Amino acid sequence: MTIRYVESSRLPTPWGTFEMHGFEDSANNKEHVVLTMGDVRGEEPVLARIHSECLTGDALFSLRCDCGAQLQAAMHKIAIAGRGVIFYLRQEGRGIGLLNKIRAYKLQDCGADTVEANEALGFGADMRDYSILKPMIEQLQIQKIRLMTNNPRKVKAMKDIGLPVVERIAHQTGRNPHNAKYLQTKKGKLGHILSDEADEES
């Protein structure tokens, strides 16, 4: 595996102080971050979120997706629990990269959905690789998780690398008029477990 641990530091946030752990992937020079709160080691399942980088949603407050809202909700829930982990993976645009994501957005502006746009650019619907989490999990000595996700593929990926998911926790937030088609595509074409009702309280 090409992932190596680099260093850890404190990260004060509006939701509380997390520990930030840096990892480097020498295969592609990507840098990944894991945020933890409390002691995540041991048999007690850890509240967890696997979050793929979304510059537009996380940092630029885009309403085209629900990513920024999901990240903030995860940080809030972990702070309430006092113990948890967020894996922040540099896999922008479901793995196609930022500039290709902008190209995909342009196709979506012309009527394509997210899957159609990715495929029109020659990519798969979802190019993300979750196997890179294995050395991060081993470094942090996490044994079991309660995973905040609507994506069954993430649950399967964790089981495939040997990390038991003892519970899948619905994590639906950030619905708005600009991302209605995006969410419908997630549900209809990518198999995400989403309610058509209003979002949960976060």
For the cut 90, the answer to whether the pLDDT of residue 175 exceeds it is no
Active-site option among 113, 128, 168, 196: 128
Active site residue 128: yes
**pLDDT at res. 199:** 52
Gap between the Cα atoms of 139 and 159, Å rounded? 18
Is 149 annotated as a binding-site member?
yes
Q: Does 30 count as an annotated binding residue?
A: no
- What pLDDT is attached to residue 189? 66
Report the SS3 class of residue 28.
coil
Predicted pLDDT of residue 139: 96
For residue 2, pLDDT beyond 70? yes
pTM over cut 0.85: yes
What pLDDT is recorded for position 147?
96
Give the integer Cα–Cα distance in Å for 16 and 113.
Answer: 37
Domain 3-91+128-190 belongs in CATH node 3.40.50.720:
no
Whole-number average pLDDT of the chain: 90
Is a pLDDT exceeding 60 seen at residue 23? yes
Structure confidence at residue 179 (pLDDT): 77
Q: What is the model's pLDDT at position 202? A: 40
User: pLDDT per residue over 103-162, tens digit each?
Assistant: 999 999 999 988 899 899 999 888 889 999 999 999 999 999 999 999 888 999 999 999
Q: Is 13 annotated as a binding residue?
A: no
Q: Specify the domain boundaries for CATH 3.40.50.10990 within the chain.
A: 3-91+128-190
> Choosing from 58, 66, 126, 175, which is the catalytic residue?
126
Q: What share of the chain is helix, strand, coil (3-state, %, to 5)?
A: 40, 25, 35
Say if residue 91 carries a ligand binding annotation: no
Mean pLDDT along residues 62-74: 94
pLDDT in tens, 192-201: 877 765 555 4
Determine if residue 94 is labeled as part of a ligand binding site. yes
pLDDT tens digits along 45-54: 999 999 999 9
For residues 135 and 141, what is the distance between their CA atoms, to the nearest angstrom?
Answer: 10
